[in-house]
Amino acid sequence: MSMPARQLRTQEVVRRRRSAPTRTEERVAYLFLLPWFAGLLFFLAIPLVYALYISMTDKRLISAGREHFVGLENYVYMFTQDGFFYHSLYITLKWIFLTTPLFLAAGLLLSLLLNQKYFGMNVFRTILYIPAVVSGVAVAVLWLQLLNPEFGAVNYVLIKLGVDNPPYWLADPQWAMPAVGLMGLWGVGGMAIIYLAGLQNIPPHLYEAATIDGAGAWGKFRHVTLPMLSPTIFFLLLNAVIDALLIFGPLFVLTLRGSEGLGGPDDSLLFYMVYLYDVAFDQGFMGYGTALAWILTIIGVIMVLIMLRAERHFVFYESEE
Protein backbone atom coordinates (compact mmCIF):
# COMPACT_ATOMS: atom_id res chain seq x y z
CA MET A 1 0.00 0.00 0.00
CA SER A 2 2.86 2.30 0.66
CA MET A 3 4.27 1.96 -2.85
CA PRO A 4 2.59 4.94 -4.49
CA ALA A 5 3.52 7.22 -1.65
CA ARG A 6 7.11 6.05 -1.79
CA GLN A 7 7.32 6.60 -5.51
CA LEU A 8 5.94 10.07 -5.13
CA ARG A 9 8.56 10.98 -2.63
CA THR A 10 11.35 9.57 -4.78
CA GLN A 11 10.14 11.68 -7.66
CA GLU A 12 10.14 14.68 -5.39
CA VAL A 13 13.73 13.99 -4.49
CA VAL A 14 14.70 13.63 -8.12
CA ARG A 15 12.96 16.85 -9.05
CA ARG A 16 14.56 18.67 -6.17
CA ARG A 17 18.03 17.66 -7.32
CA ARG A 18 17.54 19.43 -10.61
CA SER A 19 16.53 22.72 -9.02
CA ALA A 20 18.87 25.21 -7.40
CA PRO A 21 20.73 23.99 -4.32
CA THR A 22 18.77 24.39 -1.13
CA ARG A 23 20.00 26.58 1.67
CA THR A 24 20.63 23.56 3.89
CA GLU A 25 22.55 21.66 1.24
CA GLU A 26 24.78 24.64 0.64
CA ARG A 27 25.34 25.26 4.32
CA VAL A 28 26.21 21.59 4.88
CA ALA A 29 28.62 21.66 1.93
CA TYR A 30 30.53 24.58 3.33
CA LEU A 31 30.54 22.97 6.75
CA PHE A 32 32.15 19.86 5.26
CA LEU A 33 34.70 22.04 3.53
CA LEU A 34 35.60 23.84 6.73
CA PRO A 35 38.82 21.89 7.49
CA TRP A 36 40.00 22.55 3.95
CA PHE A 37 39.31 26.29 4.25
CA ALA A 38 41.11 26.39 7.60
CA GLY A 39 44.09 24.60 6.06
CA LEU A 40 44.13 26.93 3.07
CA LEU A 41 44.18 29.91 5.35
CA PHE A 42 46.73 28.78 7.92
CA PHE A 43 49.01 26.50 5.95
CA LEU A 44 48.79 28.16 2.55
CA ALA A 45 47.52 31.74 2.31
CA ILE A 46 49.20 33.18 5.38
CA PRO A 47 52.56 31.42 4.81
CA LEU A 48 52.47 32.41 1.14
CA VAL A 49 51.96 36.09 1.87
CA TYR A 50 54.48 35.86 4.67
CA ALA A 51 56.94 34.21 2.27
CA LEU A 52 56.63 37.15 -0.13
CA TYR A 53 57.36 39.51 2.70
CA ILE A 54 60.29 37.71 4.36
CA SER A 55 62.00 37.12 1.04
CA MET A 56 62.36 40.90 0.97
CA THR A 57 63.83 41.17 4.46
CA ASP A 58 67.07 40.26 6.19
CA LYS A 59 65.18 37.89 8.51
CA ARG A 60 67.45 35.64 10.57
CA LEU A 61 66.46 32.56 12.54
CA ILE A 62 67.93 33.89 15.74
CA SER A 63 68.17 37.62 15.59
CA ALA A 64 68.29 40.53 17.91
CA GLY A 65 65.33 42.73 17.12
CA ARG A 66 63.05 42.76 14.14
CA GLU A 67 63.97 42.05 10.57
CA HIS A 68 64.47 44.95 8.16
CA PHE A 69 62.73 45.41 4.87
CA VAL A 70 65.37 45.37 2.15
CA GLY A 71 63.26 45.34 -1.00
CA LEU A 72 64.70 43.20 -3.79
CA GLU A 73 68.20 43.20 -2.32
CA ASN A 74 68.18 39.43 -1.70
CA TYR A 75 67.32 38.76 -5.31
CA VAL A 76 69.87 41.25 -6.60
CA TYR A 77 72.57 39.66 -4.45
CA MET A 78 71.55 36.19 -5.60
CA PHE A 79 71.88 37.00 -9.27
CA THR A 80 74.89 39.29 -9.13
CA GLN A 81 77.13 38.01 -6.36
CA ASP A 82 76.11 34.56 -5.16
CA GLY A 83 78.30 32.03 -6.93
CA PHE A 84 76.83 29.20 -4.86
CA PHE A 85 73.38 29.98 -6.21
CA TYR A 86 74.56 29.52 -9.79
CA HIS A 87 76.65 26.52 -8.85
CA SER A 88 73.78 24.73 -7.08
CA LEU A 89 71.47 25.53 -9.98
CA TYR A 90 74.04 24.14 -12.40
CA ILE A 91 74.43 20.95 -10.34
CA THR A 92 70.67 20.45 -10.14
CA LEU A 93 70.06 21.04 -13.85
CA LYS A 94 73.00 18.84 -14.79
CA TRP A 95 71.52 16.09 -12.63
CA ILE A 96 68.11 16.50 -14.26
CA PHE A 97 69.43 16.45 -17.82
CA LEU A 98 71.79 13.55 -17.28
CA THR A 99 69.73 11.22 -15.12
CA THR A 100 66.09 11.77 -16.10
CA PRO A 101 66.43 10.30 -19.62
CA LEU A 102 68.51 7.46 -18.17
CA PHE A 103 65.95 6.62 -15.49
CA LEU A 104 63.03 6.92 -17.89
CA ALA A 105 64.71 4.60 -20.40
CA ALA A 106 65.84 2.08 -17.79
CA GLY A 107 62.36 1.99 -16.27
CA LEU A 108 60.82 1.44 -19.68
CA LEU A 109 63.20 -1.40 -20.51
CA LEU A 110 62.47 -3.02 -17.17
CA SER A 111 58.72 -2.72 -17.65
CA LEU A 112 58.94 -4.29 -21.12
CA LEU A 113 60.74 -7.24 -19.54
CA LEU A 114 58.16 -7.48 -16.77
CA ASN A 115 55.35 -7.38 -19.30
CA GLN A 116 56.44 -10.64 -20.93
CA LYS A 117 54.07 -13.44 -20.18
CA TYR A 118 56.34 -15.84 -18.43
CA PHE A 119 56.18 -17.71 -15.17
CA GLY A 120 57.28 -15.86 -12.04
CA MET A 121 56.84 -12.29 -13.23
CA ASN A 122 55.09 -11.36 -9.98
CA VAL A 123 58.18 -12.28 -8.03
CA PHE A 124 60.41 -10.09 -10.18
CA ARG A 125 57.90 -7.27 -10.01
CA THR A 126 57.89 -7.40 -6.23
CA ILE A 127 61.69 -7.57 -5.93
CA LEU A 128 62.24 -4.69 -8.33
CA TYR A 129 59.73 -2.52 -6.51
CA ILE A 130 61.43 -2.87 -3.11
CA PRO A 131 63.72 0.18 -3.40
CA ALA A 132 60.84 2.42 -4.42
CA VAL A 133 58.96 1.71 -1.21
CA VAL A 134 61.70 2.28 1.35
CA SER A 135 62.84 5.72 2.37
CA GLY A 136 65.48 7.62 0.44
CA VAL A 137 67.42 8.12 3.64
CA ALA A 138 67.59 4.38 4.37
CA VAL A 139 68.66 3.70 0.79
CA ALA A 140 71.37 6.35 1.09
CA VAL A 141 72.64 4.81 4.35
CA LEU A 142 73.02 1.50 2.53
CA TRP A 143 74.67 2.98 -0.55
CA LEU A 144 77.03 5.05 1.52
CA GLN A 145 78.65 1.72 2.42
CA LEU A 146 78.30 0.06 -0.98
CA LEU A 147 80.11 3.02 -2.54
CA ASN A 148 82.94 2.97 -0.04
CA PRO A 149 86.04 3.24 -2.26
CA GLU A 150 88.10 0.72 -0.30
CA PHE A 151 85.69 -1.84 1.09
CA GLY A 152 82.56 -1.12 -0.88
CA ALA A 153 80.77 -3.81 -2.83
CA VAL A 154 80.51 -1.67 -5.96
CA ASN A 155 84.25 -1.38 -6.35
CA TYR A 156 84.69 -5.05 -5.57
CA VAL A 157 82.46 -5.90 -8.50
CA LEU A 158 84.31 -3.40 -10.70
CA ILE A 159 87.67 -4.94 -9.80
CA LYS A 160 86.30 -8.38 -10.55
CA LEU A 161 85.16 -7.06 -13.92
CA GLY A 162 88.72 -5.99 -14.62
CA VAL A 163 88.68 -2.30 -13.71
CA ASP A 164 92.12 -1.47 -12.37
CA ASN A 165 91.46 1.83 -10.70
CA PRO A 166 87.85 1.96 -9.60
CA PRO A 167 86.63 5.46 -8.82
CA TYR A 168 86.53 6.99 -5.36
CA TRP A 169 82.84 7.76 -5.88
CA LEU A 170 81.54 10.08 -3.18
CA ALA A 171 85.04 11.26 -2.30
CA ASP A 172 85.86 12.33 -5.84
CA PRO A 173 84.24 15.48 -7.30
CA GLN A 174 84.20 13.84 -10.73
CA TRP A 175 82.48 10.70 -9.54
CA ALA A 176 80.17 11.97 -6.79
CA MET A 177 77.25 12.63 -9.11
CA PRO A 178 77.54 9.33 -11.00
CA ALA A 179 77.57 7.68 -7.58
CA VAL A 180 74.22 9.26 -6.72
CA GLY A 181 73.00 8.32 -10.19
CA LEU A 182 73.89 4.70 -9.58
CA MET A 183 71.91 4.84 -6.35
CA GLY A 184 69.02 6.38 -8.27
CA LEU A 185 69.15 3.56 -10.78
CA TRP A 186 68.59 1.16 -7.91
CA GLY A 187 65.14 2.69 -7.40
CA VAL A 188 64.05 2.66 -11.02
CA GLY A 189 61.63 -0.22 -10.38
CA GLY A 190 59.13 2.35 -9.08
CA MET A 191 58.92 3.84 -12.55
CA ALA A 192 58.76 0.39 -14.14
CA ILE A 193 55.61 -0.46 -12.20
CA ILE A 194 53.82 2.64 -13.47
CA TYR A 195 55.01 1.93 -17.02
CA LEU A 196 53.69 -1.60 -16.60
CA ALA A 197 50.23 -0.31 -15.76
CA GLY A 198 50.42 1.82 -18.90
CA LEU A 199 51.55 -1.14 -21.00
CA GLN A 200 48.73 -3.30 -19.78
CA ASN A 201 46.21 -0.64 -20.75
CA ILE A 202 47.20 -0.84 -24.41
CA PRO A 203 44.39 -2.64 -26.24
CA PRO A 204 45.68 -5.93 -27.73
CA HIS A 205 43.85 -5.31 -31.00
CA LEU A 206 46.35 -2.59 -31.86
CA TYR A 207 49.15 -5.13 -31.84
CA GLU A 208 47.02 -7.51 -33.86
CA ALA A 209 46.37 -4.78 -36.41
CA ALA A 210 50.08 -3.97 -36.55
CA THR A 211 50.90 -7.63 -37.14
CA ILE A 212 48.43 -7.76 -40.00
CA ASP A 213 50.08 -4.67 -41.45
CA GLY A 214 53.35 -6.54 -41.34
CA ALA A 215 55.01 -4.72 -38.50
CA GLY A 216 57.91 -6.44 -36.80
CA ALA A 217 58.82 -6.22 -33.14
CA TRP A 218 60.52 -2.85 -33.53
CA GLY A 219 57.69 -1.52 -35.69
CA LYS A 220 55.15 -2.48 -33.04
CA PHE A 221 57.23 -0.87 -30.34
CA ARG A 222 57.78 2.29 -32.35
CA HIS A 223 54.25 2.71 -33.72
CA VAL A 224 52.04 1.15 -31.08
CA THR A 225 53.79 0.92 -27.72
CA LEU A 226 55.56 4.28 -27.69
CA PRO A 227 52.61 6.43 -28.80
CA MET A 228 50.19 4.59 -26.52
CA LEU A 229 52.62 4.89 -23.65
CA SER A 230 53.44 8.56 -24.21
CA PRO A 231 50.94 9.86 -21.59
CA THR A 232 52.62 7.59 -19.04
CA ILE A 233 56.06 8.72 -20.12
CA PHE A 234 54.96 12.31 -19.83
CA PHE A 235 53.52 11.77 -16.36
CA LEU A 236 56.73 10.10 -15.22
CA LEU A 237 58.87 12.80 -16.78
CA LEU A 238 56.93 15.53 -15.00
CA ASN A 239 57.25 13.71 -11.68
CA ALA A 240 60.91 12.91 -12.17
CA VAL A 241 61.82 16.51 -12.91
CA ILE A 242 59.91 17.86 -9.92
CA ASP A 243 61.42 15.20 -7.65
CA ALA A 244 64.88 16.01 -8.97
CA LEU A 245 64.43 19.71 -8.26
CA LEU A 246 63.51 18.88 -4.67
CA ILE A 247 66.00 16.08 -3.96
CA PHE A 248 67.43 16.44 -0.47
CA GLY A 249 67.25 13.61 2.09
CA PRO A 250 69.62 11.11 0.44
CA LEU A 251 72.14 13.87 -0.27
CA PHE A 252 72.07 14.90 3.35
CA VAL A 253 73.12 11.39 4.32
CA LEU A 254 75.66 10.99 1.51
CA THR A 255 77.45 14.28 1.96
CA LEU A 256 77.35 15.40 5.56
CA ARG A 257 80.33 13.39 6.70
CA GLY A 258 83.00 14.65 9.01
CA SER A 259 84.62 17.87 7.86
CA GLU A 260 83.40 17.69 4.26
CA GLY A 261 80.20 19.50 5.08
CA LEU A 262 77.00 19.58 3.07
CA GLY A 263 77.62 19.61 -0.64
CA GLY A 264 80.20 16.84 -0.98
CA PRO A 265 83.74 17.18 -2.31
CA ASP A 266 84.26 20.51 -4.05
CA ASP A 267 80.53 21.10 -3.66
CA SER A 268 79.96 18.59 -6.43
CA LEU A 269 76.71 17.53 -4.73
CA LEU A 270 75.55 20.99 -3.71
CA PHE A 271 72.06 20.57 -5.12
CA TYR A 272 69.67 23.50 -4.91
CA MET A 273 67.69 22.21 -1.92
CA VAL A 274 70.90 21.33 -0.11
CA TYR A 275 72.13 24.89 -0.56
CA LEU A 276 68.73 26.26 0.47
CA TYR A 277 68.76 24.15 3.63
CA ASP A 278 72.29 25.23 4.40
CA VAL A 279 71.47 28.92 3.97
CA ALA A 280 68.15 28.91 5.80
CA PHE A 281 68.54 26.36 8.58
CA ASP A 282 72.28 25.93 9.14
CA GLN A 283 73.29 29.54 8.68
CA GLY A 284 69.90 30.91 9.66
CA PHE A 285 69.34 33.36 6.80
CA MET A 286 65.59 32.88 6.57
CA GLY A 287 64.94 35.87 4.35
CA TYR A 288 67.56 34.91 1.80
CA GLY A 289 66.52 31.26 1.97
CA THR A 290 62.94 32.19 1.13
CA ALA A 291 64.16 34.24 -1.82
CA LEU A 292 66.03 31.14 -3.00
CA ALA A 293 62.83 29.13 -2.60
CA TRP A 294 60.88 31.58 -4.76
CA ILE A 295 63.43 31.37 -7.53
CA LEU A 296 63.38 27.57 -7.32
CA THR A 297 59.60 27.69 -7.63
CA ILE A 298 59.77 29.97 -10.65
CA ILE A 299 62.32 27.66 -12.28
CA GLY A 300 60.05 24.69 -11.54
CA VAL A 301 57.02 26.43 -13.02
CA ILE A 302 58.96 27.38 -16.17
CA MET A 303 60.16 23.81 -16.59
CA VAL A 304 56.64 22.44 -16.14
CA LEU A 305 55.29 24.96 -18.68
CA ILE A 306 57.96 23.99 -21.20
CA MET A 307 57.10 20.33 -20.73
CA LEU A 308 53.38 21.04 -21.09
CA ARG A 309 54.06 22.82 -24.37
CA ALA A 310 56.19 19.96 -25.58
CA GLU A 311 53.45 17.57 -24.55
CA ARG A 312 51.32 18.66 -27.52
CA HIS A 313 53.94 17.49 -29.95
CA PHE A 314 55.06 14.29 -28.33
CA VAL A 315 52.19 12.93 -26.33
CA PHE A 316 49.43 11.02 -28.01
CA TYR A 317 46.01 10.87 -26.43
CA GLU A 318 43.57 8.30 -27.65
CA SER A 319 40.63 10.68 -27.48
CA GLU A 320 42.16 12.86 -30.18
CA GLU A 321 41.39 10.31 -32.84
Question: Which of the residues 83 through 142 are near another protein (CB under 8 A)?
Answer: 110, 112-118, 124, 126-131, 133-138, 141-142
**Total residues binding another protein (CB under 8 A):** 111
Distances (CA, A) of 274 to 3, 88, 281, 282: 69, 8, 10, 10
With left for phi above 0 and alpha for psi between -120 and 50, is residue 155 left, alpha or beta?
A: alpha
Residue 69 DSSP SS3: strand
Residue 57 DSSP SS3: strand
The answer to whether the CB of 129 falls within 8 A of the CB of 189 is yes
- Please count the other Cβ atoms lying within 10 Å of the Cβ belonging to residue 141: 13
Minimum CB distance to another protein, residue 168 (Å): 16
321 contact partners, CB below 8 Å, separation of at least 6 = none
Minimum CB distance to another protein, residue 183 (Å): 10
Fill in the amino acid letter for 86.
Answer: Y
Nearer to another protein, 20 or 80 (CB): 20
User: Segment contacting another protein (CB under 8 A): 13-21, 82-90, 95-103, 161-169?
Assistant: 13-21
Binding another protein (rule: CB under 8 A), the pick from 75, 172, 294, 303 is 294
Distances (CA, A) of 120 to 124, 127, 194: 7, 11, 19
Nearer to another protein, 174 or 302 (CB): 302
Binding another protein (rule: CB under 8 A), the pick from 80, 218, 259, 309 is 218
> Whole-angstrom Cα distance, residue 139 to residue 63?
37
Minimum CB distance to another protein, residue 78 (Å): 15
User: Segment contacting another protein (CB under 8 A): 85-93, 95-103, 161-169, 198-206?
Assistant: 198-206
- Regarding 283 and contact with another protein (CB under 8 A), the answer is no
Binding another protein (rule: CB under 8 A), the pick from 71, 200, 214, 313 is 200
